[in-house]
Structure 1
């Protein structure tokens, strides 16, 4: 049985839905490969939904709406039909509960662009059955690694696990002028600042040079990096990376490092790096 790859996608600004880019091309490639291999569904953690206290939530609304997307024409997303996978959502709740999480379904949550932007780009001809997992608002890296680790078993059953956040994502340090005046999110009047370049490189170094449990440890250490707070003014967009490290950092994943496959800089200092751990040709080791 194939062990599905795990993706950490930096979704970037809302304009990544409206503008063509190297990242968008890679998202589409990953979606095509997933469909060609007959995935059962997608399980995602984004960066814009978190639960309070010690809780985590799973989206269970049968017909979710979409939060509006700024700076993108509604035709790009309004007619895309979402496909919530309620049976798998129930199963995720059962798995997470068995692992000790305070977890519950949320039957009123409407999906946000961090997840459906990626789904539209990956699967433009139709959304596969999809389950959305919330973050926890305490943003504990070990907590989110455990969430990914708990759901990792679903990779062996044909589910594609995706974390969608950001490698370098600090809205306060972006340069918005060209986007606001000319709708040009890719304008680079100056190079990215040193802090953005250094943390971007640290993320690539960690993902491409660590595997198995070492990946999990190295990803948590990134939150102590000298440039981490410059690169992430808030922790929300980095939790998806920890979720992915949990799902792709088991002992069984030792020797399988992630790779950077595409990258798009936006707003001068936002780095949208696209990583994949594993591949469709990797097989699960047989028992014994």
Structure 2
């Protein structure tokens, strides 16, 4: 079958689970399209789980719990049934090991909001079979790009690959008062900082040029951007984008369009940009 599209989603603050937004609407649209095209499951790399040593892990807990979510009423997530895809998790370990990674299954991992927040918004009617892949704690962009490349064959077998991170995600430079005092994560009492606007534009410029080998070079090079450290005080939320660049960065992906489909600013300086690279095949049913 034709390779599935790949998504890079900026999951933002925990309040993105409970508040309506352009991003939430787009996540739902992407979920509807995935179901209409009969996906077998989801393979996702988030930003909040890295292995404890120089390895990469894949979640294989058959009955995972959910980590609590701050600033969101438990009714928004507590009763949502997770559906871990243990068999595909082991397949991912095999693919990664064959590509030369020190990869292993983690049968005790409990899911974190960076992944199930997205799943709840994409698939409110029920979680599809899902596999979660960890980061490596060295946060090497080329390493995480290669992880996506190693798992790219799953796209041709009906799996939806996505990264859940952040386009501009520096918690130290956010303006937290409106959220803490008033529960308003979208308040913009002042414009975003120039550093945030500039790096956000650079991310769009890189992804809007579409898939293929050039995407891998462009994304990994963003870590050398003079404003990268302003936009990402830590590297974790950027690794999901590196993973995506590998998953849709093969020669066969050349010419696949990259689209910025939705965006919300939170906490003044956090930019939640939602990107899709690639399309569903023209012969498939697509939700409009």
Q: Is the 8 Å Cα contact of residues 210 and 277 (structure 2) preserved in structure 1?
A: no
Q: Is the 8 Å Cα contact of residues 210 and 218 (structure 1) preserved in structure 2?
A: no
Secondary structure at the aligned position of 1:125 is classed as coil
Secondary structure at the aligned position of 1:220 is classed as helix
Gaps in structure 1 of 5+ consecutive residues: 284-288
The Cα shift of 1:282 comes to 5.9
Hey, what's the Cα distance between the residues in 1 that align with 2:105 and 2:253? 30
**How many residue pairs align between the two structures?**
283
Gaps in structure 2 of 5+ consecutive residues: 284-288
Paired residues for 1:162-173 under 5 Å: 162-173=162-173
1:137-156 deviations in Å (ceiling 9; x for gaps): 00000000000000000000
Give the corresponding residue for 1:214.
214
Q: Is the 8 Å Cα contact of residues 83 and 127 (structure 1) preserved in structure 2?
A: yes
Hey, what's the Cα distance between the residues in 2 that align with 1:42 and 1:218? 25
Give the corresponding residue for 1:54.
54
Aligned residues: CA RMSD: 0.9
TM-score, normalized by length of structure 1?
0.97
The Cα shift of 1:210 comes to 4.6
Hey, what's the Cα distance between the residues in 1 that align with 2:22 and 2:219? 25
Greater displacement, 256-265 / 31-40: 256-265
Hey, what's the Cα distance between the residues in 2 that align with 1:218 and 1:92? 26
Give the corresponding residue for 1:115.
115
Secondary structure at the aligned position of 2:105 is classed as strand
Q: Is the 8 Å Cα contact of residues 17 and 76 (structure 2) preserved in structure 1?
A: yes
Q: Are 2:134 and 1:102 equivalent residues in the alignment?
A: no
Give the corresponding residue for 2:27.
27
The Cα shift of 1:211 comes to 2.9
Paired residues for 1:157-236 under 5 Å: 157-236=157-236
The Cα shift of 1:257 comes to 3.1
Hey, what's the Cα distance between the residues in 2 that align with 1:87 and 1:59? 10
Q: Is the 8 Å Cα contact of residues 52 and 138 (structure 1) preserved in structure 2?
A: no
1:132-186 deviations in Å (ceiling 9; x for gaps): 0000000000000000000000000000001000000000000000000000000
Paired residues for 1:124-135 under 5 Å: 124-135=124-135
Give the corresponding residue for 2:75.
75
Secondary structure at the aligned position of 2:148 is classed as helix
Secondary structure at the aligned position of 1:209 is classed as coil
The Cα shift of 1:3 comes to 1.4
Give the corresponding residue for 1:252.
252
Which aligned runs of 4 or more in structure 1 are off by greater than 4 angstroms?
Answer: none
Q: Is the 8 Å Cα contact of residues 80 and 120 (structure 1) preserved in structure 2?
A: yes
Give the corresponding residue for 1:5.
5
Give the corresponding residue for 1:286.
none
1:40-80 deviations in Å (ceiling 9; x for gaps): 00000000000133200000111000000000000000000
Give the corresponding residue for 1:137.
137
Hey, what's the Cα distance between the residues in 2 that align with 1:210 and 1:279? 11
